Amino acid sequence: MSAAGKRTATVTAMVITAVLAAPGAAWAHGVGGSSDTVGGFVWLGTKHMLAGWDHLLFVGGILLLAGGMRRAAKLISLFALGHSATLFTATVADWHVNPVLVDVVVALSLVFVGVVGLRGRPKDWTWFAAAVLAFGLVHGLGLATRLQEVGPPAGGEIPRVLAFNVGVEIGQLIAVVAMFMLGDVLRHYIPRLRDVRLSHAALVAAGTVAAAVLAISSGGEVLRPVQAQAGAGGSCEVRDRTEAFPAGGGHPAKDFFEPGEAVPATSFGHVIGDGYVIVTYRPDLPAEQVSQLRGFVTDPAAGRVVGGSAAEQGEVVKAVHAYRTLTCDTVDPDALAQFTRDWFDDPRSRPIE
């Protein structure tokens, strides 16, 4: 193996080991924040990529298998082409795919590249290049589901999606350069990590564990069609989220906004990417029902929940998180509590530290 391959093997193994050893590691993560500027979306894309351990480990596995700069550059370019295509198309066309299923396939892409490495480098690189492109398309869908959490503002969506993608590529380039630079130093101090089989086996382990955790924690959501998931029952129904909140702003000044108070939509757009649940209600609700909602939202046990009235809302009550929406034709605290518990039990709800 070339010196470049040995360097990448060292860093890949160390990163995987760190991920598996971290007790609080999130298997999937949101964009974390929002912006109202094109430059801000470049930063969001860069930050998201640098925190995207699953994406970066797949890139590391490709580098490890390639064994040379020229082949690695071609394969990474194919991967970038794939995820850029689906990131742009899925976000602009407003595709709503099953995010858990996408995350599971992304995790299994690590298993794929690890198994290929354990079997030995391909003699014919054509089929492997096609697989890299295909997984790139899936990784792009995963990036799109995260960007849809932010909800780029209407009228400026395309520039911001392109800016986010530029940020993703910047983050990926930074990570690739860091792998080679760190690998050049660390391989001299940790001889055991020079064994490339350790890196390949660790990729298989990381991908298998991540896929299993996602499938189990989703409660079967990975198997449900996107547009046919079960409702909450009674007076409430659960569906896939279609609501978008304008980007920009910081955290809301308070948790609950009374009828007639201006709801900070941009602040709500900011925190939904941080795993919050947003509760909105019609401003003409009776005072007793408003009091019920106020008590639910401001209860310290509720966690990351904010709420306020929405003048144009048809439903009596609506609760929204990054992926799902609960609509109710009456105030139902039990349904709201179950909806929020289900979300906070999902690994994807954990904010990036």
Residue 111 has pLDDT above 90, yes or no: yes
Average pLDDT of the segment spanning 37-48: 81
Residue of 179 and 287 predicted with greater confidence: 287
Q: What is the CATH number of domain 236-349?
A: 3.40.30
pTM: 0.59
C-alpha–C-alpha distance, residues 37 and 19, integer Å: 32
What pLDDT is recorded for position 189? 61
What pLDDT is recorded for position 127? 93
Residue of 253 and 9 predicted with greater confidence: 253
Average pLDDT of the segment spanning 132-158: 78
What pLDDT is recorded for position 191? 58
What pLDDT is recorded for position 257? 92
C-alpha–C-alpha distance, residues 170 and 147, integer Å: 16
pLDDT tens, 227-249?
A: 433 344 457 888 888 887 776 66
pLDDT band at 39 (very low <50, low <70, confident <90, very high): confident
pLDDT band at 3 (very low <50, low <70, confident <90, very high): low
What pLDDT is recorded for position 130? 95
Average pLDDT of the segment spanning 146-161: 70
What pLDDT is recorded for position 317? 93
Domain range annotation of the chain: 3-223, 236-349
Q: Which residues pair with 176 in a beta bridge?
A: none
Residue of 130 and 70 predicted with greater confidence: 130
Q: What is the mean pLDDT of the chain?
A: 78
Average pLDDT of the segment spanning 73-102: 86
Confirm if 172 and 77 have CB atoms less than 8 A apart.
no
Q: Kindly state the helix (H) or strand (E) to which residue 280 belongs, with its residue range.
A: strand 277-281
Residue 198 has pLDDT above 50, yes or no: yes
Residue of 10 and 344 predicted with greater confidence: 344
In the three-class reduction of DSSP (H, G, I as helix; E, B as strand; rest coil), residue 94 is classed as coil
What pLDDT is recorded for position 218? 61
Average pLDDT of the segment spanning 170-188: 75
What pLDDT is recorded for position 17? 46
Confirm if 335 and 326 have CB atoms less than 8 A apart.
yes
Q: Which residues pair with 77 in a beta bridge?
A: none
pLDDT band at 137 (very low <50, low <70, confident <90, very high): very high
Q: Which long-range contacts (CB under 8 A, 24 or more apart) does 191-194 make?
A: 193/9, 193/10, 193/13, 193/14, 194/6, 194/9, 194/10
Q: Report the interhelical angle of 53-66 vs 125-150 (nearest 10°).
A: 160
C-alpha–C-alpha distance, residues 230 and 344, integer Å: 18
* Least confidently predicted of 43-47, 76-80, 187-191: 187-191
